[in-house]
Amino acid sequence: MHWRAITRLFGILMMLYSLSFLPSVGIAILYDDGQAIIFGLSLLITFVGGLFLWFPNIRQRAELSVRDGFLVVTLFWAILGMVGALPFILGLHLSITDAVFESISGFTTTGATVIAGLDQLPPSILYHRQQIQWLGGMGVIVLAVAILPLLGVGGMQLYRAEASGVAKQEKITPRIAETARALWIIYLVLTLACAIAYWIAGMNLFDAVGHAFTTVATGGFSTHDASIAHFNSIAIEIIAIVFMLAGGVNFAIHFVAWRRMTLRPYVNDPEVRSYGYIFMLGLLIITLSLYLAGEYTGASSSLRYAAFQVTSILTSTGFTTADFSLWPLHIPLVLVILSFTGSCAGSTAGGIKIIRIILLAKLGLRQLFQLAHPQAISVVKLGGKAISEEVLYSVWGFYVLYIVTALLLTVAMMAAGLDLESAFGAVVATINLLGPGLGDVASNFSGVNAVIKWLGVFGMLVGRLEVFTLLILFLPAYWRH
Amino acid sequence: MHWRAITRLFGILMMLYSLSFLPSVGIAILYDDGQAIIFGLSLLITFVGGLFLWFPNIRQRAELSVRDGFLVVTLFWAILGMVGALPFILGLHLSITDAVFESISGFTTTGATVIAGLDQLPPSILYHRQQIQWLGGMGVIVLAVAILPLLGVGGMQLYRAEASGVAKQEKITPRIAETARALWIIYLVLTLACAIAYWIAGMNLFDAVGHAFTTVATGGFSTHDASIAHFNSIAIEIIAIVFMLAGGVNFAIHFVAWRRMTLRPYVNDPEVRSYGYIFMLGLLIITLSLYLAGEYTGASSSLRYAAFQVTSILTSTGFTTADFSLWPLHIPLVLVILSFTGSCAGSTAGGIKIIRIILLAKLGLRQLFQLAHPQAISVVKLGGKAISEEVLYSVWGFYVLYIVTALLLTVAMMAAGLDLESAFGAVVATINLLGPGLGDVASNFSGVNAVIKWLGVFGMLVGRLEVFTLLILFLPAYWRH
Ligand SMILES: [K+]
Ligand SMILES: [K+]
């Protein structure tokens, strides 16, 4: 482990990150909401903290290895989580638990909140929350598309066969920078387009930018307690649906489409195609169920609420236009299943991810088929290409660890006092990076105890870091040479 | 498909099975409970029905193929389910739904019941229920140890590598008969020992035999609404624990231990060892949790109730000495997880089975380990032997189909009107062959609607037939040549 080089890296990161408090300072001055000093202080603390980490290690320029990568990625989210919590502690006087929960929920693009009464918050703090999610989304795209494949983790390795093999011994820095720039441009363009669309549709500029931040990041933080329902506008809901769906697409596909100036890559990619099918199927089931259960008057209302909630949950955004946890019969559970399914690998979304679901389903069916026809040889293919054993095992391992973690977290949440439905809801809300849950945590986490909040923080980190990256740190073998 | 040979087989089966009504006729006469005519009628209907299936096909002696096997095994449980329902319809005037549910619940050794008020039933009907489970358990042992491995299905194939390969083209009859006889002797001896022990511990002979039937079969039907709590006897609880645990052991291991007259096979088998560890771990967690939550006064009471319920649920028996669904905090969920874990392959128990859980866990850990040490080559081993790819994929396929079926069943149960906890409880109760559930189905299924009961019947059959055997019948490829 290159401890000092890692420390130097995080010193630089914190000094850079301290600049992110500047827009909040500006907004605090503009709205005169009394928080300018708070953000100035946060900036100063973060910058000086970074300086203290960086300066003693200024010459520690050792290239980081792949093994360092797991620790760096985990610490990245943990440290940003703490830094981003500063304004919540200093400005809102939240407890450390609440502030860290809120901040981690932001950076992981989960969007679960411990704050009830958003509409009364100072604008600069509201802006800070939205920006955290946007930056978190930015970090995640680079993590998912560029870094995790190099570590041999995450759904994206399926796209880049070379990553799991050759690259394991490579140094990881140069390739990342190049990929990151292209991805960020796309991310920025999507955000800009989304903000302008919201603005035209009737949001004020502050809300438009704030919600664009958390739509494209599939984060789900809102500046209003009522979330998107606050605006009660079909136009805004349609814009949100379009950009949430875009946020749930693999950014590597966006990248190719952007470069070649064509929509073909979306159609050709088997995961994006399945993403479309699953969306349609979910939409059909939920619309029909809402209509038949008579929850809303008329088919068009059922379609409206179903379309928004299915998109929001499939992409793990967590915006709401209705309290879906109170929808009748099987509807909440179907939505929970969609949340576990998730969107594409290489996006900002949470959940198991569609590419893994496809492979799991293909394997289940292949076993049945082979029993019926023992002589037939069937290879698991995706988009016409055979999938290697190594990748299949990796998907399996991911799935097992994901489900076991979710189960144990549910047990722990119940041990900490939640009932079954709430505990399950809290796990869905955090490990899938969804935000809203069921039962006691249907709309926010303000009413639950500190233990449950910390379990939630763990869940969000596990979900964001694709399980392996975090859990590997608990493996003694990781720390041995 | 050798349709006529299959029809002939089921004709013989029904004629043979009709004899199983004789003990009930005897008991009806002995207790003079007015049901003798009912059981006589059931006997007659079954025998004549069998005659009508058998006689026209008397010369159809074609050997059944492996592909026929899947259909035969599924029909075996379905047809016995219908035949066993006759006395419930004729004697208790239950609806067809209720009668079939009760009968299938018996034959699959699930033990969920639609009858509230057992203590008031005629003794002959009570005996019939207990005997159904005992015969179901008998059928299952042969199914799990001798038949399913030949079909390439079930955890036991892991023990007999040759079964999945060479044997696929073999004719299946001769090998089964020889194995079956040995297994049944063991089953009979265990039942006898259990009945004598219960009798000595204070049950009357009727209850002793009846409960021995359903203990060794890990079935869980009782002759009293209060189940084992009715007796309020520590001695009886200890006897039940011992014989439930024995029923959860692979009968192939019992067989080897019996032949060599030594206990070593139990110690040497990796699955039985893990079974022991999981039991101890579950016992420790539940005892501690009950004690710390103050549910019972004193550690010894906590241990007593924990030991019984952990055994009953891990072995999927479903006897109760307390309403565990009302135990505080995380305890019900931990028990539910134990129910999914299940006992050993080749036993009468339900659930995923420990051997599969071991392999799933090893695979999850191997993926983590390989990320930490990409150069290391690690093969999944069990008891010192490397496990083949084919077996690993089969375990994976099983697990995926099991979980997906459980999820879809939960959705369907909610669509039919159950709340989340009850629906989940109903699925656990049926697919894991447990019996008691959570919420509305915590003690019995008498209060739910017909749709839910039929979904329960499907769940029990899926669980009993190790998923593959039933689901393969829905695959178009199975019906093509
Ligand atoms: K989210
Ligand atoms: K049972």
Residues A35, A125 contacting (CB under 8 angstroms): yes
Q: Which of B283, B207, B208, B209 is nearest to B245 (CA)?
A: B283
Residues B7, B57 contacting (CB under 8 angstroms): yes
pLDDT tens digits, one per residue of B73-131: 888 888 888 899 999 998 888 899 999 999 999 999 998 888 888 888 888 999 999 99
Torsion angle defined by CA atoms of residues A322, A323, A325 and A326, in that order, rounded to the nearest 10 degrees: -100
Judge: B337–A407 Cβ closer than 8 Å, yes or no: yes
Separation of alpha carbons A436 and A433, rounded Å:
9
- The H-or-E segment that residue A362 falls in is helix A354-372
Separation of alpha carbons B373 and B194, rounded Å:
51
Give the DSSP letter string of B437-481: -SGGGSS-STTS-HHHHHHHHHHHHHHHTTTHHHHGGG-HHHH--
List C-alpha distances in Å: B182 to B20, B186, B276: 21, 7, 25
Q: How close, in Å, is residue A183 to chain B by CA atoms?
A: 26
Give the DSSP letter string of A156-192: GGGT-HHHHTGGGGS--HHHHHHHHHHHHHHHHHHHH
Better-scored residue on pLDDT, A313 or B61: A313
Q: Is B381 helix (H, G, I), strand (E, B) or coil?
A: strand
Q: What is residue A104's predicted lDDT score, i.e. its pLDDT?
A: 92
Task: Compute, in angstroms, the gap from residue A103 CA to the centroid of ligand 2.
Answer: 47
pLDDT tens digits, one per residue of A244-288: 999 999 888 888 888 888 888 888 888 899 999 999 999 998 998
Residues A316, A406 contacting (CB under 8 angstroms): no
List C-alpha distances in Å: B347 to A23, B141, B149: 66, 6, 13
Mutate to test the interface with B, among A371, A380, A392 (most CBs of B within 10 A): A371
Separation of alpha carbons A409 and A407, rounded Å:
5
Q: What is residue B146's predicted lDDT score, i.e. its pLDDT?
A: 66
Task: Compute, in angstroms, the gap from residue B314 CA to the centroid of ligand 2.
Answer: 10
Q: What is the mean pLDDT of residues A323-345?
A: 84
pLDDT tens digits, one per residue of B294-320: 878 888 888 889 999 999 999 999 888
Q: Which residues of A touch B421 (CB under 8 A)?
A: 420-421
Above pLDDT 90, what percent of chain B?
22
Torsion angle defined by CA atoms of residues A302, A307, A308 and A314, in that order, rounded to the nearest 10 degrees: 130
Q: Alpha-carbon Rg of chain A, whole angstroms?
A: 22
Q: Is B165 helix (H, G, I), strand (E, B) or coil?
A: coil
Torsion angle defined by CA atoms of residues A431, A382, B407 and B329, in that order, rounded to the nearest 10 degrees: -20
- Report whether A365 belongs to an annotated binding site: no
What the block records as the tokens of B292 is: 């710390």
List C-alpha distances in Å: B250 to A311, B354, B462: 47, 11, 20
* A385 DSSP 8-state letter: E
Contacts of A225 (CB under 8 A, 6+ apart): A116, A117, A118, A119
Give the DSSP letter string of A300-334: HHHHHHHHHHHHHHHTT----SS-GGGS-TTHHHH
- Whether B324 and chain A come into contact, CB under 8 Å, resolves to no
Q: Which ligand is nearest to the CA of B315?
A: 2
Whether A169 has a pLDDT exceeding 70, the answer reads: no
Judge: B371–A70 Cβ closer than 8 Å, yes or no: yes
Task: Compute, in angstroms, the gap from residue B390 CA to the centroid of ligand 1.
Answer: 39
* A63 DSSP 8-state letter: P
Above pLDDT 90, what percent of chain A?
21
- Whether B166 and chain A come into contact, CB under 8 Å, resolves to no
pLDDT tens digits, one per residue of A453-476: 999 999 999 988 888 777 777 777
Band (pLDDT 50/70/90 cuts) for residue A147 is low
Q: How close, in Å, is residue A436 to chain B by CA atoms?
A: 17
Closest-CA residue of A relative to B404 is A361
Contacts of A112 (CB under 8 A, 6+ apart): A101, A105, A318, A429, A430, A434, A435, A436, A437, A441, A444, A445, A456, A460
Q: Which of A256, A257, A168, A247 is nearest to A215 (CA)?
A: A247
Length of chain B equals 481
Q: Which residue among B332, B371, B475 places its CB closest to the CB of A368?
A: B475
- Whether A415 and chain B come into contact, CB under 8 Å, resolves to yes
Above pLDDT 70, what percent of chain B?
91
Judge: A67–B372 Cβ closer than 8 Å, yes or no: yes
CA angle B198, B204, B208 (to 5 degrees): 40
Q: What is residue B252's predicted lDDT score, i.e. its pLDDT?
A: 82
Residues B285, B341 contacting (CB under 8 angstroms): no
Q: How many CA atoms within 13 Å lie on the side-chain side of B191?
A: 22
- Whether A290 and chain B come into contact, CB under 8 Å, resolves to no
Residues A423, A406 contacting (CB under 8 angstroms): no
pLDDT tens digits, one per residue of A282-321: 999 899 888 888 878 888 888 889 999 999 999 999 888 8
Task: Compute, in angstroms, the gap from residue A374 CA to the centroid of ligand 2.
Answer: 33
Separation of alpha carbons B18 and B39, rounded Å:
10
Q: Which of B340, B315, B345 is nearest to B141 (CA)?
A: B345
- Report whether A297 belongs to an annotated binding site: no
List C-alpha distances in Å: A80 to A11, A84, A334, A457, B177: 12, 6, 34, 13, 67
Judge: A368–B289 Cβ closer than 8 Å, yes or no: no
Q: What is residue A252's predicted lDDT score, i.e. its pLDDT?
A: 82
Separation of alpha carbons A343 and A251, rounded Å:
12
Tokens 């703490």 correspond to what residue?
A: A82
Q: What is the ipTM of this complex?
A: 0.74
Mean pLDDT over all residues of chain B?
83
Whether A214 has a pLDDT exceeding 70, the answer reads: yes
Please name every residue paired with A480 in a beta bridge, in sequence order, or none if there are none: none
Q: Which residue among A337, A371, A478 places its CB closest to the CB of B153?
A: A371
φ, ψ dihedrals at B49, nearest 5°:
-55, -45
CA angle A99, A103, A104 (to 5 degrees): 115
pLDDT tens digits, one per residue of A40-72: 899 999 899 888 888 788 777 777 777 777 888
Whether B383 has a pLDDT exceeding 80, the answer reads: no
What the block records as the tokens of B443 is: 């003690």
Q: Which residues of A touch B333 (CB under 8 A)?
A: 410-411, 414, 420, 423
Residues B251, B185 contacting (CB under 8 angstroms): no
Separation of alpha carbons B213 and B317, rounded Å:
12
Tokens 């399945």 correspond to what residue?
A: A274
φ, ψ dihedrals at A381, nearest 5°:
-115, 155
Give the DSSP letter string of B390-447: HHHHHHHHHHHHHHHHHHHHHHHHHHTT--HHHHHHHHHHHHTT----SGGGSS-STT
Length of chain A equals 481
CA angle B85, B89, B94 (to 5 degrees): 105
pLDDT tens digits, one per residue of B329-375: 788 888 888 999 888 888 888 888 888 888 888 877 777 777 767 66
Q: Which of A429, A240, A271, A245 is nearest to A339 (CA)?
A: A429
CA B289 to chain CA mean position, Å: 28
pLDDT tens digits, one per residue of B262-285: 888 888 888 899 999 999 999 998
Q: Which residues of A touch B373 (CB under 8 A)?
A: 477
Q: How close, in Å, is residue A425 to chain B by CA atoms?
A: 11
Question: Which amino acid is it at B180?
Answer: A
Among A58-67, B37-46, B172-181, B253-262, the minimum mean pLDDT is found in: B172-181
Q: What is residue A176's predicted lDDT score, i.e. its pLDDT?
A: 67
Separation of alpha carbons B326 and A96, rounded Å:
35
What the block records as the tokens of B335 is: 């028990």
Q: Which ligand is nearest to the CA of B215?
A: 2
* B220 DSSP 8-state letter: -
CA A255 to chain CA mean position, Å: 19
- Whether A421 and chain B come into contact, CB under 8 Å, resolves to yes
Whether A211 has a pLDDT exceeding 50, the answer reads: yes
Q: What is residue A65's predicted lDDT score, i.e. its pLDDT?
A: 74
Q: How many CA atoms within 13 Å lie on the side-chain side of B89?
A: 16
Among A42-51, B289-298, B419-428, the minimum mean pLDDT is found in: B289-298
Whether A359 has a pLDDT exceeding 80, the answer reads: yes
Whether A184 has a pLDDT exceeding 60, the answer reads: yes
pLDDT tens digits, one per residue of A364-407: 777 777 777 766 666 777 777 777 777 777 788 888 888 889 98
Q: What is residue B241's predicted lDDT score, i.e. its pLDDT?
A: 94
Residues A402, A441 contacting (CB under 8 angstroms): no
φ, ψ dihedrals at B385, nearest 5°:
-105, 140
Separation of alpha carbons A292 and A303, rounded Å:
12
- Report whether B109 belongs to an annotated binding site: yes
List C-alpha distances in Å: A102 to A107, A177, A306, A350, A446: 9, 29, 28, 17, 10
Q: What is residue A162's predicted lDDT score, i.e. its pLDDT?
A: 34
